[in-house]
Amino acid sequence: EESLQMWDLNKRLEAYLARVKFLEEENEVLRAEIQSTKSSPAGDSWRVKYEEELRALRDALDHAFREKCTAELARDNLYEEVQQVKSRCQKEQAAREEAKKQLSLSRKELEEERRAQIWLKERAVQLEKEVEALLEVHEEEKAGLDQEIASFSHSLESFRCAPVAFQPVEVEDYSKRLSEIWKGAVETYKAEVSQLEGSLCQAKENLWKAVEDNQQSQLQLQHLEKDLAGLKARKEMLEESLAQQWQEQRGEAEKFQLAMEALEQEQQSLRAQIARVLEDRQQLMHLKMSLSLEVATYRTLLEAESTRLQMPAG
């Protein structure tokens, strides 16, 4: 739309310059005609009037040209400001899109951290249940071993001498082995619990970082929205001023067009007046010639009459 308006203004400016050139050529022709009529005494007053009008027309043309130049400079400055505002708006839009992308990524990371935290909590509960089950099994095995030891001790008390095939060392080995298994299970559980606690702390830290990044992204987005609103307001203000400049320039162009039409009408009236003056002058020349012919005729008649009167009577 702006390019179409610029093209229309350029076309109108070209037409205006062509019109001015045509009027200047006609002014040169009129100047030549006025120079030709300078010798006549009636042309002095017209010459002064024409010179004053031509001087006024030249001043008006110079003023119009200066106003046109200032309007073109203002138009170029406004166009550059609009281009700068557009580029800044594009940059702000790109930064806003980037902030939105970062916000969406941080939200995804936050959701993943929440899911990981939920999974870790479920895993911890599951491990606690497994530990409780192992403790129950251990207690049951320990109770069974106590019963077996009690039964063995009762059998030993009932019999004074133990059989050769019985070896109490195996029971001790079995209990040691069970205690070692229990210690290994407890150590494994402690290692898994510490690992889960470390991963939970890391997840909490990542969650806090994601929350802080989200807050920073929101603050940056708010600042960008404020800057964008300010740029939109500035753009609207520049567009309003540009539209006002266009309207003023259009009004001045219409005024120049009206002034040129008035000058054309005045020029036509001056041409008609010059034609009437030339016609009157031609009529005067014809009248002068006829009068000179009559005077010559009367002179010849008078000379003939005087010669006739001077002749002798005979």
Q: Tell me, what's the pLDDT at 66? A: 87
Please give the model's pTM, rounded to 2 decimal places. Answer: 0.32
Is the pLDDT at 247 greater than 60? The verdict is yes
Burial class (CB in 10 A: 0-12, 13-18, 19+), 280: exposed
Burial class (CB in 10 A: 0-12, 13-18, 19+), 210: buried
Structure tokens at 131: 């530990």
Q: Where are the domains of the chain?
A: 5-36+46-155+176-310
Sequence-separated (6 or more) residues with CB below 8 Å from residue 134: 185, 189
- Pick the closest to residue 78 from 258, 223, 234 (CA basis): 234
Is the pLDDT at 168 greater than 70? The verdict is no
Q: Tell me, what's the pLDDT at 43? A: 52
Name the band, by pLDDT with cuts 50, 70 and 90, for residue 314: very low
Structure tokens at 28: 């040169």
Query: Considering the chain, what percentage of its residues have pLDDT values greater than 90?
Result: 0
**Locus of tokens 């001498």:** 161
Which stretch of 192-206, 239-253, 261-275 has the lowest confidence by average pLDDT? 192-206
Name the band, by pLDDT with cuts 50, 70 and 90, for residue 170: low
Query: Considering the chain, what percentage of its residues have pLDDT values greater than 70?
Result: 87
* Interval 132-152 mean pLDDT: 75
CA distances to 122, 123, 278, 296 from 126, rounded to whole Å, are: 6, 5, 122, 149
Distance CA 207, CA 113 (A): 6
Radius of gyration of the chain (CA): 59
Sequence-separated (6 or more) residues with CB below 8 Å from residue 116: 199, 203
- What amino acid occupies position 13? L
Distance CA 70, CA 245 (A): 11
* Interval 30-42 mean pLDDT: 72
